């Protein structure tokens, strides 16, 4: 089954590739990472997400794009490649918004070994760069065939509307999962009405919804994004265990005859059944986990099952909240005071 990000056709579940270089402990070796991406394609996934800023060190450019480009090169025209750009006021002052975007896009295309990008996101809105100018420049790139569509990440409804009125937005990549559901009341109604895809990052809540993380889990002090996820503090992981208990119980009761339906698969199947425009991009470095996530598209939830699961989820209290609106110079929600820059 396929889904649509406005005019771009993708699979039910895509693949987030950030973790192959940073963000979640030790990274796999190069050949293993390439093989894992190709295994995802062979399993039916044609949608891969990266960014210019993903690398071995935080914000070290190019490396993740280069890996993804190498991996998909043999079948480039059969896949949808999404990448992301950050532009700074200093670049705009020297080259203009369009000039800065063209410079970044040229580098990304070189890294990805392609002459076009399917989906080009603004990684975060920069308050010092006019969003309307970015939207206008993205429209020119679309008209020239350099990109097929464009998107925004961690964006508010007001900013989404502003951008969409200039150049129609194909997709929004905001945080959305069973623990972070702001999108349902904010941008999702607008996205549904206007044919915009919602591409949730961290759809398994940085691994929490797999049921494999507990308050005793240890994260590396350097380059592990889970240290900054509020639901994954030691205290909150204990308090949020009822969500895992619910998923385990639901999977056992509803899928007793189906082998191996995991809590991670159920959490993905839930959002797929909930909205026709949602395309989660779970990320993993482990080939078995990658294939498990992709198989979530085969988990069928009937309307009565969805209602039962939603009702039970709504009765639970979630501890810790990051939020879904983050701009380049100011964070709204989690860690607002420290102006932490997020990389996913």
Model confidence pLDDT, tens digit, residues 41-89: 999 999 999 999 887 555 466 889 999 999 999 999 999 999 999 999 9
Domain of 58, in residue numbers: 2-210+274-299+323-338
Distance of CA 32 to the CA centre of its chain: 22
Under 8 Å between Cβ of 115 and 77: no
Q: Specify the range with the lowest mean pLDDT, choosing from 97-106, 220-229, 230-239, 323-332.
A: 323-332
Q: C-alpha dihedral over 326, 247, 226, 331, to 10 degrees?
A: 10
Query: Does residue 85 fall inside a structural domain?
Result: yes
- Name the residue with tokens 């940073």: 22
pLDDT tops 60 at residue 342 = no
d(CA 122, CA 85): 5
Helix (H) or strand (E) run with residue 81 in it: strand 80-85
CATH number at residue 204: 3.20.20.100
Report the number of distinct structural domains present in the chain: 1
Query: Does residue 217 fall inside a structural domain?
Result: no
Query: Does residue 305 fall inside a structural domain?
Result: no
Query: Does residue 268 fall inside a structural domain?
Result: no
Query: Does residue 147 fall inside a structural domain?
Result: yes
C-alpha distances (whole Å) from 257 to each of 25, 57, 281 are 36, 45, 27
280-291: pLDDT as tens digits: 999 888 899 999
Here the tokens at position 154 are 């961690």
- Band of the pLDDT at 224, cuts 50, 70, 90? low
Strand partners, 48: 15, 81
Tell me what pLDDT residue 53 has: 85
Q: Which of 269, 262, 340 is nearest to 309 (CA)?
A: 269
Tell me what pLDDT residue 237 has: 85
d(CA 189, CA 161): 12
pTM over 0.75: yes
Strand partners, 258: none
d(CA 126, CA 280): 25
Q: Specify the range with the lowest mean pLDDT, choosing from 21-30, 96-105, 282-291, 310-319.
A: 21-30
- Name the residue with tokens 């949608």: 47
Tell me what pLDDT residue 280 has: 98
pLDDT tops 80 at residue 175 = yes
Query: Does residue 284 fall inside a structural domain?
Result: yes
Tell me what pLDDT residue 27 has: 73
Q: Which of 308, 180, 300 is nearest to 246 (CA)?
A: 308
pLDDT tops 50 at residue 114 = yes
d(CA 88, CA 202): 26
Query: Does residue 311 fall inside a structural domain?
Result: no
């Amino acid at each position: 089954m396929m889904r649509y990000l406005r005019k771009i056709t993708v699979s039910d579940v895509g693949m987030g590739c950030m973790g192959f270089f940073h963000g979640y402990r030790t990274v796999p070796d190069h050949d293993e990472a390439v093989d894992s991406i190709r295994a995802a394609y062979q399993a039916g996934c044609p949608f891969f997400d990266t960014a210019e800023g993903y690398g071995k060190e935080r914000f070290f450019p190019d490396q993740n794009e280069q890996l993804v480009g190498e991996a998909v090169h043999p079948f480039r025209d059969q896949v949808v490649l999404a990448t992301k750009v950050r532009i700074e006021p200093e670049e705009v002052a020297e080259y203009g918004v369009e000039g800065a975007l063209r410079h970044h896009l040229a580098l990304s295309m070189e890294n990805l070994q392609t002459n076009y990008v399917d989906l080009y996101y603004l990684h975060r809105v920069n308050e010092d760069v006019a969003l309307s100018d970015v939207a206008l420049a993205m429209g020119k790139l679309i008209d020239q065939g350099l990109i097929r569509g464009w998107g925004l990440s961690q964006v508010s409804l007001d900013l989404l509307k502003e951008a969409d009125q200039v150049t129609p937005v194909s997709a929004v990549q905001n945080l959305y999962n069973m623990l972070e559901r702001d999108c349902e009341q904010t941008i999702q109604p607008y996205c549904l009405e206007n044919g915009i895809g919602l591409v949730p990052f961290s759809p398994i809540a940085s691994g929490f919804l797999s049921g494999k993380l507990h308050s005793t889990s240890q994260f590396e002090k350097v380059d592990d994004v889970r240290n900054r996820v509020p639901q994954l503090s030691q205290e909150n992981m204990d308090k949020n265990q009822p969500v895992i208990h619910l998923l385990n119980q639901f999977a056992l009761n509803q899928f007793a005859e189906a082998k191996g339906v995991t809590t991670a698969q159920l959490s993905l199947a839930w959002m797929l059944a909930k909205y026709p425009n949602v395309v989660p991009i779970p990320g993993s470095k482990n080939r078995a986990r990658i294939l498990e996530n992709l198989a979530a598209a085969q988990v069928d939830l009937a309307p009565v099952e969805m209602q039962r699961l939603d009702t039970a989820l709504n009765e639970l209290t979630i501890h810790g909240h990051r939020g879904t609106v983050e701009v380049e110079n100011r964070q709204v929600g989690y860690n607002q005071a420290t102006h932490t820059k997020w990389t996913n």
